A and B are shown apart, each in its own frame.
Chain A
Amino acid sequence: MSDCMSKLVRTTADVMFLFITVFGFYIVLHGHLTPGGGFQGGAIVAGGFILLIVANRLEDFLKWFQKRSFQSCEVSGLVLFIGTALAAIPLGYIFFKNFLNGAGGLFGQAVPFGINSGILNTAGTIPIMNIAVGIEVLGGLSIIVLYMTSGIRSHEEGE
């Protein structure tokens, strides 16, 4: 782990990271229209971070991204999820009620009847919960890999 990979690999990883992240967020955002969703998209973004960890030194990676910020991602995603579900109660609905659906505004467009090409601005709270899960999973999976990598390093030092 002490050595990083060759410059070729690192540059490719840096370039690919952007595309992987964008693709991951695309999957998250289109969760209510296409296969995939919050978990799958979040896992793809976390895959981008894992690529960076593998290609670079762990110390370098920790200079760019802190463990704490991944933890914050995880927590904010979870709070956004349960907050969206709970927000229905002060508004006078039942817990988990999809109160944005068909109400106009954010994700509030009603879906026209029949076949359509997929309208992003629909489905109410479902996309919001997808985004919440996406943020949570990218934080959670990255932090799992970070801890496992730290484990390898301390194991090697122990020997």
Chain B
Amino acid sequence: MDIILDNLPGLLIAIPLLGAFLTPVLSRAGDNVRNVWVMVITTLSSLCGLLVASRVLEAGTIVYAFGVDTISNVIPLDSGGIPIRIIFTIDPINAFMLIIAAVVGFCITLYSISSMEKLSGKDGFFTLLFLLVASVYGMIATGDLFNFFVFLEISSLAGAALVAYRIDKGVATEAGFKYAALSTLGGMLFLVGVGLLYAQYNSLNMAVIADRMQLTGLDIMAFVLFFTALAMKCGAVPMHFWTPDSYTMAPSSVTAFLVVSSQASLYALFRVCFTLYGGQINPLTVGWVIIILGVLSMFIGVTMAIPQKDVKRLMAYHAVSQTGYMLLGVGVGLAALSSTCFSQGVGMMALKGGLFHIMNHALYKGLLFLTAGVIMYRCGTRNLNQLGGLGHNMKWTMIFFMIGALAIAGIPPFNGFASKLLIYESTFLFNPLIAVIAMVVSILTLASFVKVFHSMFMGPKLPEYQDVEEAPKPMLIAMGILAVLVILFGIFPQQVVDTLVTPAAFALVDYHGYISAVLGGA
């Protein structure tokens, strides 16, 4: 038993990879066998993610090296104090992200089993889905820059193939190609940055590089490359143009997980700013760059969302807009923590708000995309002008959509309010103008979702959707889990902030702690 517990961080990627590779074989034995297999693997991998996270929150940072003799022997004795293996470093912020990936990963797999029922090529679909899950776990858990690049590429390729899965007269293929081309470009930029750092510091380990960081001209170039690549992968505004296409064309369950994979890139962006270049870059400048990206994403995202007629495209633009809130929160945190004009409390509050919003966003945006998937599954169209009156037959879907829509707009009893309030309060102290913009964006979000709600669910029954049915049970259960979490996190935000978000925020700021966890009190 101990050996399994010791190996949990390794199993984090081993289980989804094993699941992915065996799915095509088991598919030959029939649909039922494959469905059982898929459920077993997704349950195990989510359990594994939650267990790792709980162990980290209890006992502190886990440092796990692949293939060592004993678990504590991370740095070989004869290497001169340099970790040379692939290392997973999981501190509270990684644990925080792992919980998101585990919860959303479980829900979308459960959902896919019934939403994919009518389609062909399911063995390939679930293989790619597990690869995407494994890559997101890897991106979150890894403590090695090159390893991060490898997982980034796996997520790009698996994501692109999944976006193109429903060929849809070539439209989905185009979206998938766009995603693949841009992600590869981002990946290459990232790789050049890794090369620049490796050439100078002879190591790929994040903790070693952070420890030796000199901030030479090349390091600044590498920083810009990392920043651009990761900001593109998370869909911040000047580089957001791939998100509407790929989020719209991917099957809805995949879209919900693509949101998580974007957030894994967002986490990496914060990791680069706070840990890799911790204490070296000018926090005020970088903080303001992040704030400006955030404000642009918020505002342009929501204004582009309002005129959309395609419900998933609309939600995709809202995803861009919500990413802006996370960037804003963390950017204000970075700028305020370094400034002497503000107390540490302001910066930490903004940071907590930004991080908490990541989790909340993954839950309610996942829920919204899944409800859009139900509409697509039952009615066969995403066009808001053709939909209407669905509330009569699809009561549960309507309730879940309402919960998601109110949460994204930041209405009190739901989780979006809790994190947005933290961002508003801290941003108002930092710069009132930005707080006003954030609130206006929130109101526009509400307006746009009222429109969607009205045109999809309200009104009399339309003749073509007279006998439309409620979603199948597994889809309802998957949405139900997310909806319950959205409400729980909205009612008890303080507990969530105290147990999950605060340790994550402190871990993000404390780069000395990260370095010494790997290098051993150096």
Contact = CB atoms under 8 A, between A and B. Distances in A.
A71 interface: yes
Interface size range on A against B: 10 to 19
B28 to A, nearest CB: 9
Given A96-B66, A98-B67, A79 B21 contact: yes
Interface string A79-103: 1001101101100111111100000
Nearest to A99: B67
A95 B71 CA distance: 10
B67 A95 contact: yes
Contact of B21 (A75, A92, A94): A75
B169 to A, nearest CB: 15
B14 A94 contact: no
A94 B11 contact: no
B231 to A, nearest CB: 32
Given A82-B14, A82-B18, A94 B24 contact: no
Interface residues of B, number: 20
A22 interface: no
Interface string B61-95: 00001111111000000000000000000000000
Interface in A3-61: none
Contacts of B66: 94-96
Nearest to A81: B21
A89 B25 CA distance: 23
B11 A95 contact: yes
B67 A94 contact: yes
Interface string B19-42: 001101100000000000000000
B24 A71 contact: yes
Nearest to B67: A96
Interface stretch (B2-10, B331-339, B386-394, B402-410): B2-10
Contacts of B18: 79, 82-83, 86
A75 B27 CA distance: 12
Contacts of A88: 67
A82 B10 CA distance: 11
Contacts of A75: 21-22, 24-25
Given A71-B24, A75-B25, A79-B22, A94 B7 contact: yes
B268 interface: no
A120 interface: no
A82 B17 contact: yes
A78 interface: yes
Among B21, B22, B66, the one with the most A-chain Cβ atoms within 10 Å of its Cβ is B21
Nearest to B18: A82
Contacts of A79: 18, 21-22, 25
A92 B67 CA distance: 12
B497 to A, nearest CB: 34
A82 to B, nearest CB: 5
A75 B67 CA distance: 24
Given A89-B4, A94-B6, A94-B7, A82 B21 contact: yes
A37 B150 CA distance: 19
Given A75-B21, A79-B22, A79-B25, 20 more contacts: A72-B25, A75-B25, A82-B14, A85-B14, A86-B18, A89-B4, A89-B7, A89-B10, A93-B3, A94-B66, A94-B70, A94-B71, A95-B11, A96-B10, A96-B66, A96-B67, A97-B67, A97-B68, A97-B69, A98-B67
Interface of B: 3-4, 6-7, 10-11, 14, 17-18, 21-22, 24-25, 65-71
Interface of A: 71-72, 75, 78-79, 82-83, 85-86, 88-89, 92-98
22 contacts: A72-B25, A75-B22, A78-B21, A79-B18, A82-B18, A82-B21, A86-B14, A89-B3, A89-B4, A89-B10, A89-B11, A93-B3, A94-B6, A94-B7, A94-B67, A94-B68, A94-B69, A95-B7, A95-B10, A95-B11, A95-B67, A97-B67
